[in-house]
Chains A and B, each alone.
Chain A
Amino acid sequence: MNSKKVSKAEQPLSLMIPIYVVCILLAVLSIAPFWIMIINATRSTTQIQAHAISFIPGNALMNNLEKIQDKDMFKPLVGFANSALISVGVTVLALYFSSLTAYALTAYEWKLRESFFSMIMGVMMIPSTVTTIGFYQACYRLGLDNNRLMLILPAIASPMMVFFMRQYLQASLQISIVESARIDGAKELQIFNKIILPIMKPALATQAIFTFVSSWNNFFMPLVLLTKSEKYTMPIMVRLLNGDSYKTEYGCVYLGLSMTVLPLILVYMFLSKYIVAGVALGGVKG
């Protein structure tokens, strides 16, 4: 009893002050780079040259925007459209087929089930670099480099997501629902589409956010596969800002970066709760 009373009253300032100081400093460290970036996007090169850090926005936003358009290399709209196309494709395919595979692994008893699952576990960690040389060579020979489909279709086999979906289904699938649907005369695929997918909505939502973001941020594979600038995704497009023609155009670089970063920050502002909860789910149990 005594100890409980003590613990309720205990708020030692000597510990609380350092905690808040550290947390606030870290929060500033997380936000400041993006803040400086956005402010500098509105300032002219001469203003930035005089003082690279400022808390007051400048008035050169339109001017910077015009300059970016004049250079005709960094095309944010093209990059945005390509990234959106690929990321949506990847997300839809990965979600649907991973759920289907997870359903096959949970709802049916089949001979190779265990070995199939072991295989999925085994290949979960294969990094894309290991496949890159062979994949690029194959695509090149078939004339499929620069084909955006080659970045979308591999998502059908997403071992990591199958693993998570299977875990979710094992906890939430009641085989009796499937059986009663069968009695009502539903076909197996129909059962999956109409009954199982809706059950999986919470898991699908979390996985959708992460798949979309990681596909959007993917750099290595598109860099290897896409050589034509009209096919560039956002991260490949942003690479052009490192080029010589932007060497002295500080305002343009910051504006270009803002264009790639702001959509993500906006998405995060709305979905941060789910995203952080999803990261917490991703770990194994302690």
Chain B
Amino acid sequence: MQKKRGVVDYTKYGYLFSIPFMVAFLIFTLYPVLYTCYIGFTTKQGLISEANFLVDDPFKNFREVLFESTLFRLALKNTVAIWIVNFIPQMGLALLLTAWFTDNRLRIKCKGFFKVIFYLPNIITMASVAILFRAFFGYPMGPVNDIVTKIKGPGSEIYFLIKKTTTRNIVSFIQFWMWYGYTMVQLVSGVLGIDPSIFEAAEIDGANRLQTFFKITIPSIRTILLFTLVTSLIGGLNMFDIPMLLANGGPDNATLTTNLYIYNQAFSGSYKYNTAAAASMIMFTIIVVCSAILFYCMRDKDEAELKKLRKLERKEQRKAMAGA
């Protein structure tokens, strides 16, 4: 009897220790997602009204959001436009800095200091940053107009935040300013992970800086570039804090993002929970597609192979056991 204790089955602890995660996940993520989905198919409007299932036309809310109202499509267009205008310069600058900071032939001083400074805006509360920039672009006076009048003389103040394109570009700029440091730190760490002998070989073969960067560095960090692209896209699709607090989606809905649309539908007076829920689910679908692409590209090929092998082995073992 004593000996048998030595072969305690520890399997149950695997389940036991996963229970807290599982329970919290069911209550705080899965249930709300399903409930949101359900509300998307109902008449739920107003705080206390009953949620009646739309029996005749279950996809009414979805159709309304996608086709009948132009506001959601405008919001989606804005969101993507703001993201693209921020992402291209962000990636460009991050790549340029990465090329400089990882070039062994250039010995730049204070690299660590620059990295720390470039990353700084990323940890500051977005809400505070938005209100700070709102103050900066204030009219008729604010730091930016202070500079404008110094250059162009008094009377040339610009009311930035009533111009549609300007406001949208300011949102893009803030995003760019907050995230290029983050992207750069990630890219640099990716490049540092490349086997240095490849660079040495290139140098001996007489490759110049540009050739080394485009022919060796970029192809070697393909995965990390893609990872950055997709995480940034998902983050961009969820943009909320800055457009809301900089100009509250205005002027004339120029910075209305999809998340701001959802928030406005549900929580700013109109209580259209069903419309907001339908819009949430549409965004969810878009993000799932993006994530699927991300995981497909991120999967570790070697590990996937190993897993297959292990599975096969286990199957054979089981077969052998059954045979015995």
Residues on the B chain within 8 Å of A31, using CB:
117, 120
Q: Say whether, besides A27-B114, A134-B34, A154 and B106 are in contact (CB < 8 Å).
A: no
Q: Does A56 contact B (CB under 8 A)?
A: no
A29 to B133, CA, bound (A): 13
Q: Does B320 contact A (CB under 8 A)?
A: no
A134 to B17, CA, bound (A): 28
Residues on the A chain within 8 Å of B193, using CB:
285-286
User: Contact between A156 and B120 (Cβ–Cβ < 8 Å)?
Assistant: no
Q: Does A282 contact B (CB under 8 A)?
A: yes
Q: Say whether, besides A126-B33, A220-B259, A101 and B17 are in contact (CB < 8 Å).
A: yes
Q: Say whether, besides A121-B295, A127-B234, A33 and B186 are in contact (CB < 8 Å).
A: no
Residues on the B chain within 8 Å of A127, using CB:
234, 237-238, 283-284, 287
In the complex, which residue of chain A has the Cβ closest to the Cβ of B290?
A: A125
What distance in Å separates the Cβ of B250 from its nearest Cβ neighbour in chain A?
13
In the complex, which residue of chain B has the Cβ closest to the Cβ of A227?
A: B267
Residues on the B chain within 8 Å of A168, using CB:
none
What distance in Å separates the Cβ of A205 from its nearest Cβ neighbour in chain B?
16
| Residues 115-142 (chain B) with a chain A CB within 8 angstroms | 115-121, 123-128, 131-136, 138, 141-142
Q: Say whether, besides A30-B181, A261-B128, A154 and B28 are in contact (CB < 8 Å).
A: yes
What distance in Å separates the Cβ of A277 from its nearest Cβ neighbour in chain B?
9
A137 to B104, CA, bound (A): 56
User: Contact between B17 and A130 (Cβ–Cβ < 8 Å)?
Assistant: no
What distance in Å separates the Cβ of B89 from its nearest Cβ neighbour in chain A?
12
User: Contact between A261 and B124 (Cβ–Cβ < 8 Å)?
Assistant: yes
User: Contact between B146 and A162 (Cβ–Cβ < 8 Å)?
Assistant: no
Interface residues of chain B: helix, strand, loop or mixed (majority): helix
Residues on the A chain within 8 Å of B128, using CB:
235, 238, 257, 260-261
What distance in Å separates the Cβ of B219 from its nearest Cβ neighbour in chain A?
10
Q: Does A153 contact B (CB under 8 A)?
A: yes
User: Contact between A216 and B125 (Cβ–Cβ < 8 Å)?
Assistant: yes
Q: Does A138 contact B (CB under 8 A)?
A: yes
Q: Which of B16, B128, B182 has the most CB of A within 10 A?
A: B128
A283 to B287, CA, bound (A): 20
In the complex, which residue of chain B has the Cβ closest to the Cβ of A49?
A: B141
Residues on the B chain within 8 Å of A27, using CB:
114, 117-118
A138 to B44, CA, bound (A): 13
Residues on the A chain within 8 Å of B232, using CB:
none
User: Contact between A235 and B127 (Cβ–Cβ < 8 Å)?
Assistant: yes
Task: Say which size band chain B's interface belongs to.
Answer: 35 or more
A132 to B102, CA, bound (A): 42
Tell which of B106, B127, B290 touches A239, judged by Cβ atoms closer than 8 Å.
Answer: B127
User: Contact between A37 and B120 (Cβ–Cβ < 8 Å)?
Assistant: no
User: Contact between A133 and B131 (Cβ–Cβ < 8 Å)?
Assistant: no
Tell which of B29, B189, B288 touches A131, judged by Cβ atoms closer than 8 Å.
Answer: B29
User: Contact between B146 and A51 (Cβ–Cβ < 8 Å)?
Assistant: yes
Residues on the A chain within 8 Å of B123, using CB:
213, 217, 264, 268, 275
Q: Does A15 contact B (CB under 8 A)?
A: yes
User: Contact between B245 and A134 (Cβ–Cβ < 8 Å)?
Assistant: no
Contact with B along A249-286 (1 / 0, CB 8 A): 01001100100110011001000110110011111111
Binds A, one of B52-60, B63-71, B164-172, B273-281: B273-281
User: Contact between A156 and B35 (Cβ–Cβ < 8 Å)?
Assistant: no
Q: Does A188 contact B (CB under 8 A)?
A: yes
| Residues 186-213 (chain B) with a chain A CB within 8 angstroms | 186-191, 193-194, 203-204, 206
A274 to B31, CA, bound (A): 36
Q: Does A80 contact B (CB under 8 A)?
A: no
Residues on the B chain within 8 Å of A216, using CB:
125
Residues on the B chain within 8 Å of A97, using CB:
20-21, 24
What distance in Å separates the Cβ of A12 from its nearest Cβ neighbour in chain B?
8
User: Contact between A224 and B280 (Cβ–Cβ < 8 Å)?
Assistant: no
Q: What are 26 of the A-B contact pairs (CB < 8 Å)?
A: A7-B105, A20-B108, A23-B108, A30-B117, A52-B142, A52-B145, A100-B20, A104-B15, A110-B14, A114-B307, A125-B234, A126-B29, A127-B283, A129-B280, A132-B266, A135-B36, A153-B24, A157-B22, A217-B125, A235-B125, A260-B125, A264-B124, A272-B116, A272-B120, A276-B115, A283-B227
Q: A125-B234, A253-B131, A261-B132 are in contact. List 14 more A-B contacts (CB 8 A).
A: A26-B114, A52-B145, A104-B13, A116-B18, A133-B280, A137-B44, A234-B125, A235-B125, A235-B127, A257-B132, A268-B120, A284-B224, A285-B223, A285-B224
Task: Sort A-B residue pairs by CB-CB distance and give the 4 closest, nearest first.
Answer: A134-B35, A108-B14, A280-B189, A110-B14
Which residues of chain B have a CB within 8 Å of any CB of chain A?
Answer: 10-18, 20-25, 28-29, 31-39, 44, 47, 93, 96-97, 100, 104-108, 112, 114-121, 123-128, 131-136, 138, 141-143, 145-147, 177, 181-182, 185-191, 193-194, 203-204, 206, 220-224, 227-228, 234, 237-238, 240-241, 245, 259, 262-263, 266-267, 273, 276-277, 280-281, 283-284, 287-288, 290-291, 294-295, 298, 307
